[in-house]
Amino acid sequence: MIASKQDLKIYLDADRRANHISGLSLFFNKTWRYLKYMRKIEYLTNCRQGKLSKILLLWYRYKFRNLSVLTGISIPPNTFGKGLYIPHYGAIVVNDTVRFGDNCVIQNGVNVSDKVWGGQHCYLGAGAKILIGVHLGNHTIVGANAVVTKSFDEENVVLAGVPARIISHKGFKDRKTV
């Protein structure tokens, strides 16, 4: 959670590096703009209380909602840690009571339901669905089109199927951290 201006800079830098953003894509990449507005909303919501901050917050929320409609991404502020990677936008829906750790990847078509908790370095494959109250451990991979109906607190697991079950104990360790 962003608790200071320094945290905001750290989160933005981690998100930028995770999404491989540099050069002109800093200005034109819609996913990067979405993440940037999301992080600024987190900062203003968690840290700032002045009148100017409230005006900025309204402006960023307006831009954030417009980008949400344009990209099909609906990830509320304060749900994912730093280093969130969104390789493709479109039909990503996350409930506002969800909490995931740092360095997560979320593919398109993902739906994360109410009161879900995930650890660090989670990968949510394309079309994955995570239902109410599920807890996922660190380094967890949820395969494409898997439906997770129960908690898997174990670390380094790969989940697949409907309903999801453990198919491997070689989790998401290989991704370079930011």
pLDDT band at 178 (very low <50, low <70, confident <90, very high): very low
Three-state DSSP at 113 gives: coil
Between 22-26, 71-75, 84-88, 91-95, the lowest mean confidence (pLDDT) is in 22-26
pLDDT for residue 55 is more than 80:
yes
> Regarding predicted confidence, which is higher, 106 or 1?
106
pTM, 2 dp: 0.90
Please give the average per-residue pLDDT across 132-147, as a whole number.
Answer: 96
pLDDT for residue 176 is more than 70:
no
pLDDT per residue as tens digits for the range 24-40 = 888 889 999 999 999 99
Please give the average per-residue pLDDT across 13-24, as a whole number.
Answer: 92
- Give yes or no for a contact between 177 and 83, defined as CB atoms under 8 angstroms apart: yes
3-state SS track over 132-167: CCCEECCCCEECCCCEECCCECCCCCEEECCCCEEE
Query: What confidence score (pLDDT) does residue 24 get?
Result: 83
Query: What confidence score (pLDDT) does residue 76 get?
Result: 96
Three-state DSSP at 33 gives: helix
- Give yes or no for a contact between 102 and 82, defined as CB atoms under 8 angstroms apart: yes
